[in-house]
Structure 1
């Protein structure tokens, strides 16, 4: 779990969505379940992420966010001369759910189903 403190501070303001998108993008692959969200690639490329917010709801002490993450995956080949799939970056996309505690900014992140 991590803390999205800037997003919590912006909660209820017009800037909330933009602050949230920036903060999620800065988390990177280390904190987001991007490897589990791969569809085509073998592993996540070290490249910038793009975040799209699908929904934000408030329930009790939790702010629930569903966000689409656009990122790059790597499809690795064996680098043999007759290998038709040399290593290359490909576009990937997954949807994650973030549950942020409204009092502490502690946030749980999982792939959305």
Structure 2
């Protein structure tokens, strides 16, 4: 994924809003939402809410930590007598976003108790 608008807006007052807009449309195909689950078994892509927690500038990379609120479900067997209700659960995870300053290519790393998993687009 290329975050060219976010790269261009870095350092301006509108940076957080631009980053939120670009990231909120990505979904679990790019973001490590499935890996960040705490309650459900399947992450849902719609309705992502993004918070910019901090940002740091390096010569080659912009590093931004974001918090993501999203929804999940506990998937049942879909049988007629399945007692598992399909309720949406609110999930939260933190993700480090590294944006290459040359071309805007972004890498997303799930923050998990001091370790991280990579998801590059």
Fold agreement, TM-score > 0.5: yes
Structure 1, unmatched stretches of 5+, are: none
On the 8 A contact 2:45/2:70 being kept in 1, the answer is: no
Give 3-state SS (helix, strand or coil) of 2:18's partner: helix
Question: 1:26 corresponds to which residue?
Answer: 25
Matches within 5 A, 1:80-95: 81=81, 83=83, 85-95=84-94
Q: Does 1:70 align with 2:69?
A: yes
Q: TM-score, normalization: structure 2? A: 0.84
CA distance in 1, matches of 2:82, 2:102: 57
Give the aligned CA root-mean-square deviation in angstroms: 1.4
Q: TM-score, normalization: structure 1? A: 0.90
Matches within 5 A, 1:1-113: 2-78=1-77, 79=79, 81=81, 83=83, 85-113=84-112
**Structure 1 residue ranges (4+ consecutive) displaced by more than 3 angstroms after TM superposition:** 78-82
Q: CA deviation at 1:28?
A: 1.6
Structure 2, unmatched stretches of 5+, are: 113-121
Aligned length: 111
